[in-house]
Structure 1
Amino acid sequence: MKGDLPPDDWPGRSVSRIVPSKPHRWHVQVTGKGPDALLLHGAGASSHSWAALIGHLNTSHRVIALDLPGHGWTRSPRGRARLGDVAADIANLCAQEGWAPDLVIGHSAGGAVCLELARQGRLHPRHLVIVNGALENFRGAAGWLFPVMAKMLALNPLTGLLISQGTRSTQQVRSILSSAGTELDEIGLSHYARLIQRRAHVDGTLAMMAQWSLEDLNRALPQIITPALFIHGEKDGAVAVRVAETAAATMPNAKLVVLPGIGHLSHEEAPARVAGEIDRFVTGS
């Protein structure tokens, strides 16, 4: 239904559709021709995050970008945002739609989903790309305090409404992204400002954070043999380069490329550079 879709001026809206696959109603965007490439955004974002990179990828791939559970325009039940469940539900969606991703690219928390899909073995991509992957739980007091706070917030049905009503300023979004080492133009900032005005999106983001746990995945990294490329912005203030260094060193067929002068949203800040690294990785050139 049109009412379930993003507004007409949303990035990629012309190829948006809603795909029911229990227990979700997924918002997906599919464009291009070639081997399937599955794109998984990070917590708090949506498929719009890939818009610039898709312009580089869809000449060589059929690109499938989706909104993660509870994010953007994907409608999801509460309690279905654990890492293993998210990956399993995405695999079910791919099977239902006949998608066979040859390449899976994940940003931040989407990078963890990318690796979890490989760990579960229900999809069989030939290449994995993890962009500024969030593969480490919070340390110190934040390690126990933040998940508890997120869980409490997620359980309160008024939280999303209160947060979304109180956070409308593009300037506020700029401040948040600047702390992650990222600078976007006004258009890029406006997309995030519009997202966090959506109560359902805020609720979905909080639910994911409240249920997020990476211990099992990190223990399994040495067993993931699929060739993997880690791309990480040197200036990332949200996830240290050290996290990517550790993960890449742990996996048997992984390598790391660090992008100087780039922050947490590498694929939005420098889409051509990220696309070039992906192309060299996939083609072996």
Structure 2
Amino acid sequence: MSAPRWSVEGRDWPNRAASRFVAAGGLRWHVQTFVPEARDPPATILLLHGTGAATHSWRTLAPLLGQHYHVVAVDLPGHGFTTGRPVGGLSIAGMAGAVATLLGALQVTPQVIIGHSAGAAIAARLAIDGRASPAAIIGLSAALLPFPGLAATLFPTMARALFVNPIAPHLFARIARTPGETGRFLYRSTGSRIDDAGVACYAALLGTSAQCAGAIGMMAAWDLVGLRRDLARLKTPVLLVHGDADRAIPLSNAREAVAAVGDGRLETLHGLGHLAHEERPEEVAAIVRQFMETRI
């Protein structure tokens, strides 16, 4: 199975100078770090991307936040240039456990965890299970609840069916290598139109069967029903930032999720889709800074 190669797919990777590789928990992690030029130690932000993505998802937002905070972004297991498989597999709990082990190896204690889509679910699981104690969680297009209606049953079932089919990742990778197909897929599935650099990164990753297998495996192992049940135990303040043109996760899910947590707030971005932080990173950075000034 082909995997993204740092010397090939990562040759022109966004913010490549901020990258390093760290061994922790049986994985070789791709980590990017941004530190501002300041005397006082700044607050630390951990960035967790969504399914099928990698650190490129933060290509503009991370440097913007890095002007004011210590920012750590990682490629999650099964994604990007991180290699190996966590002890708990690609489930929410397994991913959260792997991230907690990495944070220990890095000796990093994030004051804020920002998660995009599935990354927000991992952030919530970290806090609920006591594996991290952030002062706040910010969910961008957060996937915290089961998909609405019939999709709640069909989506995970289809993902599990694809997961056991060894041919599926190769087929998806072949489609992603078709010129123009990745950009069309991103718009159809997310409602977002991102820049050419971002599309090229997604195409490079999804053009490898290992990235596709990681995304499928993650979706197949995802237990959002269990997370929904546990959200009431989440005492960490939560800010959800959600585009009203999101085709992947409806705005109604964000409203319900905010109501389910103890201390939640929703900020709606008009005209933006599931990749709002890639469409308008400056706007999202301003929202994050304003929120952190009141919480940290």
Q: With structure 1 as the length reference, what TM-score do the two structures score?
A: 0.93
Equivalence for 1:237: 247
**1:253-268 alignment to 2 at 5 Å?**
253-268=263-278
In 1, Cα distance between the equivalents of 2:158 and 2:255? 29
Q: What is the aligned-residue RMSD (CA, Å)?
A: 1.9
Superposition deviation, residue 241 in structure 1? 0.6
Please state if 1:173 is matched with 2:176.
Answer: no
Deviations 1:213-268 (A, max 9, x none): 11222112122111111100011011011111111122221110001111111110
- Contact 1:228/1:254 (<8 A) preserved: yes
Deviations 1:106-163 (A, max 9, x none): 0011111111111111211111100000122234443333323322322333332232
Please state if 1:35 is matched with 2:38.
Answer: no
Equivalence for 1:127: 136
Number of aligned positions between the proteins: 284
Q: Could you say if the C-alpha distance between residues 27 and 71 of structure 1 is closer, same or farther in structure 2, counting changes exceeding 3 Å?
A: same
In 1, Cα distance between the equivalents of 2:126 and 2:12? 32
Q: Could you say if the C-alpha distance between residues 143 and 222 of structure 1 is closer, same or farther in structure 2, counting changes exceeding 3 Å?
A: closer
Moved over 6 A (4+): none
In 1, Cα distance between the equivalents of 2:109 and 2:179? 38
- Contact 1:5/1:18 (<8 A) preserved: no
In 2, Cα distance between the equivalents of 1:257 and 1:223? 22
In 2, Cα distance between the equivalents of 1:31 and 1:261? 30
In 2, Cα distance between the equivalents of 1:223 and 1:170? 46
Identity %: 37
Please state if 1:23 is matched with 2:30.
Answer: no
Q: Unpaired segments of 5 or more residues in structure 1?
A: none
Superposition deviation, residue 4 in structure 1? 7.3
Q: Could you say if the C-alpha distance between residues 158 and 77 of structure 1 is closer, same or farther in structure 2, counting changes exceeding 3 Å?
A: farther
2:109 to 90, 94, 100: 100
SS in 2 for 1:30: strand
Equivalence for 1:51: 59
Equivalence for 2:198: 188
1:223 to 233, 238, 242: 233
In 1, Cα distance between the equivalents of 2:64 and 2:95? 27
Bigger mean CA offset, 88-97 vs 167-176: 167-176
User: Structure 2: which amino acid aligns with 1:155?
Assistant: V
- Contact 2:169/2:210 (<8 A) preserved: yes
- Contact 1:5/1:73 (<8 A) preserved: no
Q: Could you say if the C-alpha distance between residues 116 and 4 of structure 1 is closer, same or farther in structure 2, counting changes exceeding 3 Å?
A: farther
1:284 to 269, 273, 294: 294
- Contact 2:9/2:204 (<8 A) preserved: no
Please state if 1:248 is matched with 2:270.
Answer: no
Equivalence for 2:210: 200
- Contact 2:147/2:249 (<8 A) preserved: no
User: Structure 2: which amino acid aligns with 1:245?
Assistant: R
Bigger mean CA offset, 26-35 vs 151-160: 151-160
Q: Could you say if the C-alpha distance between residues 145 and 249 of structure 1 is closer, same or farther in structure 2, counting changes exceeding 3 Å?
A: closer
In 1, Cα distance between the equivalents of 2:97 and 2:278? 27
